[in-house]
A and B are shown apart, each in its own frame.
Chain A
Amino acid sequence: MTEVTALAPLEDLGGEAQPLLTVRGLTKHFPVRGDLFSPRKTVHAVDDVSFEVAKGETVGIVGESGCGKSTTARLLMHLMDYDSGDIIYDGMKVGRELSLRDLRRAMQMVFQDSYASLNPRLTIEESIAFGPRVHGMAAAEAQLLARDLLGKVGLRPETFANRYPHEISGGQRQRVNIARALALSPRLVILDEAVSALDKSVEAQVLNLLVDLKREFGLTYIFISHDLNVVRYISDRVLVMYLGQVVELGPIDGVWGNPVHPYTRALLAAMPTSDPDNRTQIAPITGDPPNPIDPPQACRFHTRCPFVDTVCSMVAPKLADIGTDGHQAACHMAVAGSGHSRAPGPNAGT
């Protein structure tokens, strides 16, 4: 049997210390048509989002619908253009030092809807082999690679290679999507609600697979989910988004163990319990998330925040260091002298 050859991954440039991905000031606004008498409105989908992803880590992104987490993923993949900001992959500015073609080899994405993201007219093997062929691999070689990857994601190639997407289950389809993402030897995989549509027992199988593949291929993940338990399980660091902005970020244990932003606290407190003797008694916040069309001014959370003060509707809080481990939150209460009545005094010790 012929040796399976994969595409060579993009060379590592900056070494361990250089972030694999740096995002600076990423912004995307969608104009929406106003009615006859009102001016044009704007959806602030992603607003000045900055973060870094280190080589080999898993960064979770959490938030409710409309918070911009999926738009962020699509902007990173350049599936849509952004208004402003920089995306830097391993020291190379995307679009300048790194072509889109190379970026899409280095970075791949798995979507929530496993069925919609596969071409229904291609067999599973053809779908997986498609990317490598576009990038210049010979057909026979690409087929071998596809079969090898099917085995790696736990699907026997002799059973599955020639099936069509509608002939397999949702969990199996998601495995195919993961295999297809890996076919280009990416270093970064963006998983956008990739396990959300799966049943719990299947979700656990796919999460185990993701952990194994990360180790085997030395991958870096960006893991987007609304399920905080899953994010805690898989992530090293986490970003909490609210209405297009990052409100808190840091190491998962720090953020989950000591949430600083009232929204993060509310999200965590809103998780259903696992203890029948300790049910939730009070909803942490009331009301629905506001519409991202023309979101609240200054701090976007101030309309739902139980600790709102005058300064919150006047000045937008910036991300500020909470500890020394990269834990940051954008809340006036965390910053001494911000003008919030609950902010630590200027001489506060810690």
Chain B
Amino acid sequence: MTNIVEVRNLHVRFSGERTVHAVNDVSLSVAEGEVLGLLGESGSGKSVTLRALLRLLPKARTTISGTIKVAGQDVLALGEQKLSAFRGQTASMIFQEPGLALDPVYTIGDQIAESVVRHKGVSKSDAMARALQMLDVVRIPSAKRRLESYPHEMSGGMRQRAMIALALACEPKVLLADEPTTALDATVQIQILLLLRELQREFGMSVIFVTHDIGVAIEICDRVAVMYAGQIVETGTMREIVRSPLHPYPKGLLASTVHGAERGSRLGTIPGAPPSLSTAPDSCSFAPRCSNAQPRCVEQLPPTVQIGPERIVRCVLAESAA
């Protein structure tokens, strides 16, 4: 299997009024046709990592180091023109709030067609035909009429479908999904997840799916990277992470889930709160909340332990399992 996305030692630092080390030494890869989940709580750096892949972070205040390769292109080295060709054609993104991501003053058809004209160099009428085809692909009822709709005329679920149509119109090799179902109602969320799963197979694309919801990750991801304080603490197949997490953070997360917990029984919790990230970590970021912390956890960065072909854990506890 060849890797379509290859991220090595990515660091993202925001400067300004205060400094935030949002992403610290993240390495990940995604194979062709694979769905990788980035699972973590707010502030864990999952969305920042995703945005770095499309270079969507504000230029003036962001320092990025490391390498990002997508489909053979060095993303951090792309010039402006190549970058805008890259966005939408090689990799594109869907967001949590389609209401904010879509342009309110253009119809859905116009927005999709604009992107197709830009990337494929076809005529406006061919692009409109493609837009219509895409609305059918994402199963928007009466697609022909919906081409003429403005975003505010559609329901939340329909808008999310329209955004997926826009993102996939130029058949990108990689789809970046930033919590695309979080703002949706439960009965709509599952429809969108199933649609994404189906389109991923149909288009054969790779997907990086950011979520805070482990249930959502299970529905769509093959493999998952769990993030904490700007780092990936454990990577493995969805099954491995759910059935036998090794790092104490995903272990604690799974223990704190109310799913299947007996009513009113005590839930497992992780005491404390995540660190502030104002300085780059020089020890294990999770150590202050970890019940198994050892002296060396607070003295040095945790080791990167390779357990299996796809299993990486950043924790001293994993050394015995290796």
- Residues from chain A with Cβ under 8 Å of B269 in the complex: 201, 204-205, 208
Is there contact, CB below 8 Å, between A204 and B186?
Answer: no
Is there contact, CB below 8 Å, between B218 and A272?
Answer: yes
Is there contact, CB below 8 Å, between B186 and A267?
Answer: yes
- Residues from chain A with Cβ under 8 Å of B218 in the complex: 272-276, 279
* B 267-305 to A, binary, CB cutoff 8 A, 1 in contact else 0: 111110100000000000000000000000000000000
CA of A232 to CA of B239, assembled, Å: 25
- B253 within 8 A of partner (CB): yes
Is there contact, CB below 8 Å, between A199 and B194?
Answer: no
- B308 within 8 A of partner (CB): no
- B32 within 8 A of partner (CB): no
Is there contact, CB below 8 Å, between A280 and B41?
Answer: no
Write the nearest CB–CB distance from A80 to chain B, whole angstroms.
23
Residue of A230, A289, A291 near B187 (CB, 8 A) is A289
* Stretch of B63-71, B110-118, B143-151, B209-217 with 4 or more beta carbons under 8 angstroms from chain A: B209-217
Is there contact, CB below 8 Å, between A201 and B219?
Answer: no
Beta-carbon nearest neighbor of A169 in chain B? B273
- Residues from chain B with Cβ under 8 Å of A207 in the complex: 258, 267
Write the nearest CB–CB distance from A168 to chain B, whole angstroms.
10
CB neighbors of B among A254-277 (8 A): 266-267, 269-277
Is there contact, CB below 8 Å, between A252 and B242?
Answer: no
- Residues from chain A with Cβ under 8 Å of B194 in the complex: 280-283
CB neighbors of B among A221-279 (8 A): 226, 228-230, 232-236, 252, 266-267, 269-277, 279
Residue of B187, B215, B260 near A284 (CB, 8 A) is B187
Known: A204-B269, A276-B238. A65 touches B185 (CB 8 A): yes
Known: A272-B213, A276-B239. A201 touches B186 (CB 8 A): no
- B157 within 8 A of partner (CB): yes
Is there contact, CB below 8 Å, between B190 and A283?
Answer: yes
Tell me the count of chain B residues lying within 8 A, CB to CB, of chain A: 43
- Residues from chain B with Cβ under 8 Å of A234 in the complex: 263-264
CA of A197 to CA of B191, assembled, Å: 23
Write the nearest CB–CB distance from A198 to chain B, whole angstroms.
9
- Residues from chain A with Cβ under 8 Å of B191 in the complex: 283, 286
Known: A200-B41, A276-B238, A279-B219. A270 touches B186 (CB 8 A): yes
Is there contact, CB below 8 Å, between B270 and A201?
Answer: yes
Write the nearest CB–CB distance from A126 to chain B, whole angstroms.
24
CA of A202 to CA of B289, assembled, Å: 12
- Residues from chain B with Cβ under 8 Å of A208 in the complex: 266-267, 269
Write the nearest CB–CB distance from B312 to chain A, whole angstroms.
19
- Residues from chain B with Cβ under 8 Å of A235 in the complex: 263
Write the nearest CB–CB distance from B232 to chain A, whole angstroms.
17
* B 223-249 to A, binary, CB cutoff 8 A, 1 in contact else 0: 000000000000000110011000000
Which residue numbers of B lie inside 8 Å of A, CB to CB? 41-42, 155-158, 185-191, 193-194, 212-216, 218-219, 238-239, 242-243, 252-253, 256-261, 263-264, 266-271, 273
